[in-house]
Structure formats: structure tokens, C-alpha cells
């Protein structure tokens, strides 16, 4: 606690969401006055709404976390709104923050989905433009990557201050477990728990299991966002990750073990794996603002399972 946030007002778009709630908690604990706009009151896809939001709240900092997101199935079913709504929200927020009086810095959250499909591992920020993203989530990844360019040219021409952070796959208590939007960890926790309860001897799993992911605990990601909002003054994107790569097969097997499901896992290679590998180099975050992830994966996974079992109705609520 440095006292930096005392007397500062922060708008956190998406502040009622999975990651946003933890960011808001950390900011308030540090002394910030935090506004959490809701989409029913401020639809950021519409022109002029972001300007109205900032006029209503008069922030010193804007943290843009609002996004339309989902797993592979959702990306395949809804690529157009995933591209357009994410592009528009970020575009409007960046421009509103640029012109609003009193805004010192804007923090933007990118996505590991923006990296090219066959990026050398570990992913380094310099590789961001070296190819096209993996096809199943390219529309979302490209929309988010456009925000980086927007912020960089605004910094060049107008002096707008921003931080652009690229987290790996988030997980943790409060995650989304509804099948329409869940990612691999919440989806597999839900399915393993159900399979155990129903006494199923087999459970189908998408893909081959050979693809890998890097998982970042939600509290670690939230801490990075708050630290970067205070300390980071550059225009380069910054990875947030653990530097630990876990295959989908290892992930599912570990979830099944922790949940206590001992049936057979039946892999379906006709379903997409998504990006072949994911692991980022998090060294820039350590170098530029002293952040590194702290939560061990197994402990974070157990906390996520425990939260799900204690909050199933909330966890499985339809986000739409």
C-alpha cells in the first residue's frame, strides 16, 4: 500500500464481472473511490455512451475490462458479435478517456488469443504481429489487438497515457460455469462434478488433449492490473502469465482427480483443440513494474472447485 490511490476515482468497466470484481476489491482496499458501471445503464457499444459515463463519474483512471467472451464453442457460434462488440466497446472507451478532462491513465486488457496461431513458445510481445491468430477465436483476438494500435497512435499524437496488458487464460473463484460461455477449467469442473454425481462411467472431452494452456489465477491478474495502473508508463504490450504450460489432457485429468471422478475420459478428435500451445514470457511485467504471479496452479484449482461446489446456482447462472 503506497497511498497512491487515496483520493483517486477509478471507473472499472466490467467491474461486476469475474475479473472486475477482484480488481474493484483491490482498488477499494487501497483507498480508491471506484465506480462500477453496468451495461444496462451504459451500453458502451453505442456512440456517446462512454463519454457520458466519464462525464457522470469524473475519473482519474479508467480500467477497461468489459468484454464479450466465451470458450471455443461460443467463439464458433458467435464470431460476429464477439468481433464487433469488443471492438466498439474498446474504441469508444479509449476515445472517451482521451478527451475527458482529468483522466490520467487508461488500462486496457488484451487477450492471449491475439497471438499468431503458431507463435514460438514462450510467447513474447514482439511476436504479436507475426501471423494470424488461431481461427476459432481470431475475431475476438483481432478486435482486442486493434485497441493496442488505437492506444499507441493516441499516445503518439495526443500524449494519452495507457497500459495494455495481455493475460493468459484466467481461472479462479467467481468464474463463469454456464456452458454457453465457460472456458476449459470451469467447463471441466462442472462436467466432472455432474459425471460423478450421476455415476457415469465415461465422459466425452473435446479435442485430442494435446493442446496446452497457461492458467493465471484471477487474484494474480487483478493485482497486476492495479500495479500497472499505478506504475507502468510505457506504450508496449505486457504479458501476464505464470510461465507454466499445462496440456488440456493434464488439466482435465487433474480436475477429475480433485473432484473425485474416476470414470474414463473419452477424447473426441473431431472437435477443435484451439490454439496448439500457449505459454507467455512474463519477464516484461517483472522488469517494468515488479509483478509476478504467485498462486500455485494446484492450489488455485482446488480453490476454484471449492467455490463452485459452494456456489453452484450463482456459478451456473445464464449470463444472457
Residue 219, preceding bond cis, omega within 30 degrees?
no
Residue 265 bridge partners (DSSP): 203
Assess whether 215 carries a catalytic annotation. Answer: no
What single DSSP character describes residue 209? S
| DSSP code string of 204-251 | EEES-S--EE-EEEHHHHHHHHHHHHHH---SS-EEE--S--EEHHHH
* CA R_g for the chain: 19
Residue 10 bridge partners (DSSP): 34, 61
Selecting among 42, 115, 140, 217, the annotated active-site residue is 140
Q: Which grid cell is 86? A: 469488443
Selection from 192, 188, 196 nearest residue 213 by Cα:
188
CA distance 183 to 113: 13
Active site residue ranges: 140
Amino acid at each position: 500500500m503506497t497511498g497512491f490511490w487515496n483520493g483517486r476515482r477509478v471507473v472499472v468497466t466490467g467491474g461486476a464481472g469475474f475479473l472486475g470484481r477482484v480488481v474493484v476489491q483491490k482498488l477499494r482496499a487501497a483507498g480508491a473511490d471506484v465506480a462500477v458501471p453496468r451495461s444496462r445503464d451504459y451500453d458502451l457499444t453505442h456512440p456517446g455512451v462512454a463519454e457520458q459515463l466519464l462525464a457522470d463519474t469524473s475519473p482519474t483512471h479508467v480500467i477497461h475490462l468489459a468484454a464479450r467472451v466465451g470458450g471455443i464453442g461460443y467463439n464458433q457460434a458467435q464470431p460476429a458479435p464477439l468481433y464487433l462488440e469488443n471492438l466498439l466497446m474498446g474504441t469508444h472507451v479509449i476515445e472517451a478517456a482521451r478527451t475527458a478532462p482529468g483522466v490520467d491513465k487508461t488500462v486496457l486488457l488484451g487477450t492471449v488469443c491475439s497471438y499468431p496461431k503458431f507463435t514460438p513458445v514462450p510467447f513474447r510481445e514482439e511476436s504479436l504481429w507475426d501471423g494470424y491468430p488461431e481461427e476459432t477465436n481470431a475475431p475476438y483476438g483481432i478486435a482486442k489487438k486493434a485497441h493496442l494500435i488505437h492506444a499507441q497512435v493516441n499516445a503518439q499524437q495526443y500524449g494519452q497515457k495507457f497500459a495494455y496488458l495481455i493475460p493468459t487464460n484466467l481461472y479462479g473463484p467467481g468464474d463463469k460455469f454456464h456452458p454457453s460461455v465457460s472456458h476449459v477449467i470451469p467447463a471441466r469442473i462442472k462436467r466432472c462434478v455432474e459425471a460423478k454425481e450421476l455415476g457415469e462411467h465415461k465422459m466425452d472431452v473435446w479435442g485430442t488433449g494435446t493442446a496446452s494452456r497457461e492458467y493465471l489465477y484471477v487474484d494474480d491478474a487483478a493485482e497486476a492490473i492495479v500495479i500497472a495502473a499505478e506504475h507502468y508508463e510505457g506504450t508496449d504490450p505486457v504479458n501476464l502469465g505464470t510461465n507454466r504450460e499445462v496440456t488440456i489432457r493434464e488439466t482435465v485429468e487433474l480436475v477429475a482427480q480433485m473432484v473425485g471422478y474416476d470414470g474414463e475420459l473419452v477424447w473426441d478428435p473431431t472437435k477443435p483443440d484451439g490454439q496448439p500451445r500457449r505459454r507467455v514470457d512474463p519477464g516484461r511485467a517483472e522488469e517494468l513494474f515488479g509483478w509476478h504471479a504467485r498462486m500455485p496452479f494446484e492450489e488455485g484449482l482446488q480453490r476454484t472447485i471449492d467455490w463452485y461446489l459452494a456456489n453452484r446456482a450463482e456459478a451456473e447462472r445464464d449470463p444472457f
